[in-house]
Amino acid sequence: MKDVQAPLRILAVVSEPDPRFDGLFAPIREQAELSLVYDVESMARAASSADALLVWEDQPGLVDQAITAGATLNWVHSASTGVNALITPTLRQSEVTLTNSRGVLDRAIAEYVLGLFIAHRKGFAETLVLQQQRTWRHRTTRMVAGTRAVVVGTGAIGRETARLLGAVGVHVTLVGRRAVLQDPEFGRIAASDDLASEVRDAQLVVLVAPLTAETRHLMSEDVLAAMPRDAYLVNVGRGGLVDEPALEARLAAGQLAGAGLDVFAEEPLPQSSALWGDPRVLVSPHMAGDFDGFEEALVARFVELLRDRKAGRPLSHVVDTRLGYVPSGTPAS
């Protein structure tokens, strides 16, 4: 292994060169040599001598190219929490350690979920329409406190979402890969195999799980059909968690109250999608965790890990590439 005191050579994968990276990545340059790569040609020039890869904006094929060409590459860090696009057979079969930015965006995403549910229960969209029409129409709205939510995903984001919902009186059931009877914080955790039965009396279903082979279309036609007509679906995980045609059909039939969707199977969401025009659906462009200053926070997380690496300390936030996420209980900075 290379002397931990020697300058580390970092490649940052971005979509294109941009002057803003000069300032944004300055803290990284204080710790290591940094080069930007954004296509096959730039990766080919730099990969052979790289020690680590910072995937700021994933470019298909570049991580595999770096692993194949990089004799010294042994660490890939994802600026995103979701890493499904990075876990390829090439990565799985390599000795490369994969880390992510778990913990940086948790609160922001939880607040986004709570905001969507409050807006839904309080009818903010209808209020805005009436205001635009200059119509004074008194209405009652539904309470948030006392409702039941099912949060699918027991990682850091799911738990923070459950805490915030609980703080306003929502009764929350967490759903994970397997059932847990005595979770230290939440008591019972239901198994994903039982999702259809868990959503039957829920007014809110929140998806924050990672996208893996096991979770793809976890929100299937059968599970969607099990949701009550007054239920609201929020997806801030990955688009592939939901059978989107089945969701569109349930909404069109009036069998769901609505949905707040921040992620989609295809992004950007195609103009032809019926979701754009459904007044009961809020479409947002994969931004639930993007608070003011989030990019600087993501850089700070990488710098923390970089300092650990330079000091010879074990890396935290290590992704189990077999599972597709950082297992609960693993070290965090």
Give domain status of residue 331, yes or no: no
Give domain status of residue 332, yes or no: no
57/34 Cα distance (integer angstroms): 15
19/70 Cα distance (integer angstroms): 27
For the chain, the residue count is 333
Q: How many domains does one find in the chain?
A: 2
- 253/110 same-domain check: yes
Give domain status of residue 34, yes or no: yes
Q: What is the pLDDT of residues 59-91, one digit of tens each?
A: 999 999 999 998 899 999 999 999 999 999 999
Residue 211 zone, left/alpha/beta (φ > 0; ψ -120 to 50; rest): beta
pLDDT the model gives residue 109: 99
Q: What is the pLDDT of residues 18-51, one digit of tens each?
A: 999 999 999 999 999 999 999 999 999 999 999 9
100/116 Cα distance (integer angstroms): 26
260/284 Cα distance (integer angstroms): 8
Q: How far apart are the first and last CA of the chain?
A: 24
Give domain status of residue 1, yes or no: no
169/189 Cα distance (integer angstroms): 18
285/128 Cα distance (integer angstroms): 21
Cα angle, residue 200 at apex, residues 228 and 254 outer, rounded to 5°: 15
pLDDT the model gives residue 331: 67
- 100/110 same-domain check: no
CATH of the domain at 135: 3.40.50.720
Burial 308-329 (b: 16+ CB within 10 A, else e): bbeeeeebbbbbebeebbbeee
Q: Could you tell me which residues are beta bridge partners of residue 189?
A: 174, 180
Q: What is the pTM of this model?
A: 0.95
Coil, helix or strand at residue 204: strand
The domain in which residue 261 lies consists of: 106-283
Q: What is the pLDDT of residues 185-218, one digit of tens each?
A: 999 999 999 999 999 999 999 999 999 999 999 9
- 19/160 same-domain check: no
- 18/31 same-domain check: yes
- 16/135 same-domain check: no
